[in-house]
Structure 1
Amino acid sequence: IRNIYWRWLALWWHHFFLLWITIDGQTRYSIPEELKQGSVVGNLAKDLGLGLSDIYDRKLRVASEAGEQYFSVDAGKGELVVNDRIDREALCGQSISCVLPLQIVLENPLHLHRIEVEIKDINDNSPRFQTKETSLKIAESAAVGTRFVLESAEDSDVGSNSVKSYTLTKNDCFTLKMKEVEDGKTVPELVLEKPLDRERRAVHQLLLTALDGGNPVMSGTSQITITVLDINDNFPVFDKNVYKVSLQENGSKGTFVTKISATDADEGPNGEVEYSFSSRTPDSILSVFEINSLTGEVHLKGDLDYETATSYKIEITAKDKGVPEMESHCRLQIDVVDINDNTPEIVLTSEPQPVREDAPSGTVVALLNARDADSGNNSKVLLKLPKGSPFLLKPSFSNNYALVTTGPLDRERFSEYNIEITATDSGSPPLSSKKTIPVSITDVNDNPPVFTQPSYNVYLKENGVPGSILYSVSASDLDFGENAKISYSILDSKVQDVSVSSYVYINSDNGSIYSMHSFDYEKVKVFQIQVQAKDQGSPSLSSNATVHVFILDQNDNAPAVIYPSSAALGSLSHQRMPRSAKAGHLVTKVTAVDADSGHNAWISYRLAEATDASLFTVNLYTGEVRTKRAVSEQDDSSQRLLIEIKDDGEPVQSSTVTVSILLEDGLHEPILDLRQKSSEPSRKNGRITLYLIVSLASVSVLSLLTFLILAVKCIRNSRSSGSCCMRRSDCDDYKNPNRNLQIQLNTDGPIKYVEVLGGDMLSQSQSFRSCMSPMSEYSDFTLIKPSSTTDFKEVISVLDASLPDSTWTFESQQVNGYCEPMKRGTVQRDLLPPPCSLSALSVCIARSWVRGSDALVGVKIYFNLWFWYEAILDLCFGLMLFDNGW
């Protein structure tokens, strides 16, 4: 479409120029094809007699009649140059002459010049065959000199650049000759020079090459494949003249015997071979053997028995399918080999009986017999049992055997045995067979019940609903049937001198334990239940498990007021207080205990109501009632306080106590005199300060001497032992909390006292007691001689019996060089005496540096230090009491 368009456009321009301008004579240029873009064709301005300025002023342009703009004008030089690639074969095809007409258009005045550009051919195309591969089929019986026309090659170039000659690859059977046809053209022909033999070479591969006359020469190739067609000129040939095969007797039908192979050098039907037995083959052979006519495989068709025939000789024929048929013959000899073709057999003469697991060794389980249909060594049979089997085969006579036990049996491990007996004959190769005999083991009660755990921990809240389930124990028995049926029971034991059966009962079938009534933590905190599981065997077996029942505390007890003691009568306590009391005066102290434990026993005190709330205050933790300000003349002489005591449980339990206070004038207070004496600035205060400084300095010097002695001792020991550090095992005794200093606060009515205990609670220890009067503003401090072990135990007994939860114990622990109290029970203020940190430091030093054989020396140093410390402390307080007139 594009070419037609440009042709019409060129025609229009042609007529247009005929009407308006005069056409000058033609100019002709000659160029080769495939010039590069920008190549100069000729000096157009010079050839047309134009100046360079005319090209620009008159707007010179080039128009092509072919439509494609292959050329343009260089306005600067006036030259006609190539504008695009020019392919002569695309423009003119096989034409010898190829001329491209152009129109040169000038304006002002309008003028037209016609020029022609001749495109000359170059050898840019190689010869080309239409088919790259050519196949020929020639019979091997073709006569010598036979010709076969081949395809000619085409070349797009013309003249001397076109096809000029052909060549053929060198071979033994064919040559190449040229045949001249019309218009002077030549075509190549293939000529048979020698006879063909397909069996020697079935396919010939030749390469035909076409050459052109260009410079350089270009070529094209075509592959020629010649297939030689076969004729039936060869006989089938066997691999062997005689085939010999040895075949074992009693082979199954279809057993492969051998394969007969014959080859025919021909092809197609001429080379296809069929196999068959000779026509003279007897029926005795045809009934036993057969041959595949296509593959030549010989198979067993019937039974083969060495005792019937020891050898077979068979004639086999091979024929091809050519015309005429060609055949050949061979012989097959089959030798029959006698083999051990009968497997031994195991026959049970008596069925196996169940065996008790406690059956004695040698118990007969079953009787059996071994036999083999073969003769000679092939009939001798050997029986074997698997390794590890608790059974044994005991031979008797004529291949008869008894299956007996060899040791104790365990039904819990194996309730049934599948005894696999292997029978092997003495043939070559030996044949064997297996027979499985099932033997069941009956149970004996030889396993007691076993609990899932040796002991169980049960946590039960107090005040539970009677009849609720506490826990379910479970036991299993490896035995079977009645021997595995388990019943549960509780062994009789005492809980606080009461039979445990009055607390709980158990379901004998499933082991579920139920409570008989609710439990009170304050009465019973923990008890044990011995549960027995017994099977139903004969004799029966049993086992026990312990169930630890821990009662969890609930906040079911309100705080009980133990001081003032009169509060127990009417919840009212009468106290007296002088009107001269100042702010902070200790009026009384309310003490209460809670029978619960833990958070449920933490007690706090609160002033619920008061005649004058601005006059009194109650300590939240200690219950001390003190004045918030000095008593004035306007205050009522009778004051009434309602103190509420609450625990920290959930829900909160509380109780109240009413304290009646009578304000009196002129009430004699010895402590007040002491206060006045101590408040007076006198020389006594200076002496007390001096005594304190002397005591502290003395203790410091003793501590320094202790450190030096221990350091020297450590250095001496390190030279011999290599280390002065204690091992963990050496320090275990020192880490026992019972060996720490203990401070006990006890309340007994209006008298309170603190005990500072050193060492084990049940060993000889140093004890200091501080007695304080609840009625005095300043407590008396009394040093009492060290208590003995017996006295201390009696005190502990009394305290435990009277107030089990009112005892306050503080364990002195060394934390950054200070004594930190650890509380148990109601939270109270730290009542440790001031020298506690120094004494604890001494204990820590003795524990850290004493090792091995030096432990006794360290303990002696520690107790000497404690003795001097007590002596100085006694002296200090004695001087204080003397100076104060006590």
Structure 2
Amino acid sequence: MHTNAELDEKAPLRVIVDDVNDNAPEFVGPLHFTVPEHCSAGTVVGVVSATDRDQIGTDHVKIKYTLVSGSDMFTIHPETGVITTTTNTLDRELKDNHVVTVKIQDMNGAPNGLFATSTATIALSDINDNPPAFMKSSYNVTVQEDESEKLLLRIPVQDKDLINTSNWMSKFVITKGNENGNFRIVTDPQTNEGLLYISKPLDYEKTNDVQLQITAQNVASLNGSSATWQSIPVNVNVEKVDAVRAGLGQQIGPSILTRDPPTRRALTSPHTPTTFSQLFSQSPGREQQTARSVSFGLLGIMTVLCPVVLLLLLFLVLAFFCLKKREKLQLYDSGDTGGIPLKANTEAPEDSTAWEY
């Protein structure tokens, strides 16, 4: 027969503490997500994670996820916390960041459940949905027929995509009018402008007008947009070079020597006189230009010789007046002799003491 005391010593006593829902759920991990702009509806943005310190397996830790704000463009799964898009109209160029308020509540969202709220930031990454846009609809530029490697035009463009990315950086192409390779176009890396150069001289006699078509593209391909690359016309007017400037006058004339500095220095050097053989040896070969160029060269030589001739004439005039002046002085020195100069007495005086007897 066992007593109550013996039973108390041998039987274990288990005390079960019933969990009370006294801990609100907490957010775990960052609440910053990124999704491409113009993504399709249903695209996963990210997952909101939460935890609850109450007893596992009870409704105290069963969390329900809801969006307090931002439900017009996003939605969240009530059990997993996965955020997805509800539209394909997210546009980074209009709004690059969206802030939504997330609510987590235990007891599976029951009214008596504890809850917490926080904001999640959803950033939109850029896609190339905006082609470069020209500032003007067309351009006109003038070039002389003998020019080359000269900047003719700067073509600015606007691009709404993210600056300094391949979606923003422009790439210009001459799509028409450059079959002979007279032009080239590059991109200014600082301003994103197109720089149009003349790379080979044009011939006015062959063409005095060139119609180019410039297309602006991006380094990256277009994506998520129905837009296409834009093109504009560029009219290049070719000017004929004046024959005097094209011939020897351009190289020799002191007043219009603006090109070929080595030739100018050689011809104007005080130690290198210019001869007529040099003038004719530098003829471009065309008869008309040669005749005009030689005449211009002679004009330049006459311009140099005229001052020398004038100085020589002035010297002769002064010499003539000096001779006249000298003759007048001799006439004045003749005294009252009627204009006959007196004969100088060059004989030595007699020594009276030497001839006395």
Please report the TM-score for the alignment, with normalisation by the length of structure 1: 0.22
Please report the TM-score for the alignment, with normalisation by the length of structure 2: 0.45
Say which one has the larger Rg.
Answer: 1
The structure whose residues are more often strand, as a share, is 1
